[in-house]
Structures are given as structure tokens and as C-alpha cells.
Structure 1
Amino acid sequence: MNLTATIAINRPAADVFDYVMEVPHDTQWRSGVVEASFTSDGPLGVGTTGFDRIEANGRSMVSSWTVFEYEPGILARWTLDSGPIRGTGGYICEGAGDKTRFTLEAHVKPTGWYRLLGPIFGRIGRRQNLTDVQRLKTLLEHTT
């Protein structure tokens, strides 16, 4: 299931990438994320691990992830290793001067009871990711 969302942000790509790769910032722009952190030490790159704790509909879910592709300032992709949703995600920043085309990638497969939601899960996920990238745009364009 593809839940990818893209938006133009009026900030340089380096600013956008640096912000989204600071994982604790997820709580400021990602829907339902109440905690996010790295679980590995060392510089960010392939093999870096972390988690997000999300609260939605009265439930708390923890998903762990591992970075499998990383190009500083341009992209990061990860696998969702545990939690109710499996698949891959990523951030891509394509710069053009002081503007960035930001893409939040999400290719997921719900497990457990989430699988039963099927198309409803897809619509909700796409809408949520579109809202999230819009929130990121607003946040970054109004922060110096």
C-alpha cells in the first residue's frame, strides 16, 4: 500500500533534511507521534536504528525501524521492523535553490487487525501523510 506524500517547501533542502532527520522532531509534525528517538549510537547512516511511539484512537503503538539507505542531505530510507505496520519509509529532499521538493515515502502492509481495515486504512494513511507534510511545510516556513 503506497501512502507517499510530496510537498514544496520554501526552505533550502539542507534545512529540511537536517530538521526531519532529527528524529525527536517527529513529535512536532507527524500525526500521533508522542515520542521518537534513536536507539543506536554513532553517526546517522545505514544501520541506524530508532523507534516511534504513536497514540491513536486510544491505543499506543511502538514501531522500530532501521535505516537501509542514506545519502546525507538528500535521502534516508528505512524498514519498519516491528509494530502493527510493516514495510518501508523514507524522506527525500530535492533542492532547487531556496526551495525543496520534500517526499515522505510510505510503502506499508498492515498486520493484525489493521489488515482488516484494508482500503479504509489506505485512505486514512494517505490523508494523514498529506496533513503531516503540510504541517512540516508550515512549521519550517515560519521558523528562522
Structure 2
Amino acid sequence: MGNVVDVLTEIVIRRPLAQVAGFAADPDRAPSWYANIREVDWRTPKPLAVGSEVAFVARFLGRRLAYTYRVEEWVPRSRLVMRTAQGPFPMETTYRWEELGPAETRMSLRNAGKPTGFPKLAGPFMAAAMRRENRKDLRRLKELLEAGPQV
């Protein structure tokens, strides 16, 4: 069957849904809350839309990863689904936002994919590392947004 990685993390952020979704869905803001993302390069014109392609350079498990995401689904303030268009680790990333109250939003971040090459050897370690990183990233997003008006 092979190694499939499927990691879901969630956090509640004390900010309105429009603010949380607007900030999190903006690829240009990714380096401010994703600890591993170093560079963002739009391959297609802005704004974000189905079919948009954005290239990222990240560090994960001590390795440099360059990959391009293609937006497959985009429902503003609800759901964003991106898949790697190219890169070493076929991955689908899904953001979901749910309004819990006028100033409270639940955000979930799901990464699912099938590692090839080096990551394939890591198996369960890979999923654990990804879960740990995703939790840190969501906590950083929460801290940024709850600290003051960003958007």
C-alpha cells in the first residue's frame, strides 16, 4: 500500500472569520506564520483563484524543499485546497474556516500525501514531524492575529 501521510490539526483563533481566512489564505503572508517557509513566488497573476500556482521554498527535516502548489478549490472564508503541481512530495493541503462566533474562528489545516524518495523512508516519523510543525504554525498564526489588527 505504501506510506500515506494524512495530518489534520485545528486551532480556535479569537478573531472574525473574514480576518482569519483573509490572512491565512494569502500566500504572501505564509512566511510570517509558517516557520519552515522561506520564499514565496507567484507563478500566475494575483489574486488567488482556482488554477493559481504559487511556488514555495521551505526547510523540512533539515532539507530544502522547493515545490509549487496549484489551487484546486477556493471558496473564500470557507475552504482552500491546494495540490503540489511539482515537487518531491505529492501533497494536498486543505484549509477550512468555521465561524464559532462574531470574533471566534476555528481553522483546520490538513496535509495529505504520499512521500516519494527520501521522505518515504521516514514513514510514521514524517507524519509526527508534520503534525508537530503544523501545530506550531497554527499557534503562530493565532498569536499574530490575536496580537492586533493585521488585515
In which range does the TM-score fall when normalised by the shorter chain? Answer: over 0.9
Aligned pair count reads 144
| TM-score (normalizing by structure 1) | 0.93
Counterpart of 1:110? Answer: 115
Question: Unpaired segments of 5 or more residues in structure 2?
Answer: none
Counterpart of 2:30? Answer: 26
Counterpart of 2:45? Answer: 41
Give SS of 1:81's match. Answer: strand
CA distance in 2, matches of 1:41, 1:118: 36
CA distance in 2, matches of 1:61, 1:14: 31
TM superposition shift of 1:31? 2.3
Write out the 4+ residue segments of structure 1 that deviate beyond 4 Å after TM superposition: none
Task: After superposition, give the CA deviation of every residue in 1:50-92 in whole Å (9 maximum; x if it has no partner).
Answer: 1110024553211101111111121110111222211211211
Counterpart of 1:119? Answer: 124
Counterpart of 1:70? Answer: 74
The answer (yes or no) to whether the contact 1:12–1:99 under 8 Å persists in 2 is yes
Question: Unpaired segments of 5 or more residues in structure 1?
Answer: none
More deviation, 72-81/57-66 = 57-66
> Pairwise CA RMSD of aligned residues?
1.3
The correspondence of residues 12-23 of structure 1 with structure 2, limited to 5 A, is 12-23=16-27
| TM-score (normalizing by structure 2) | 0.89
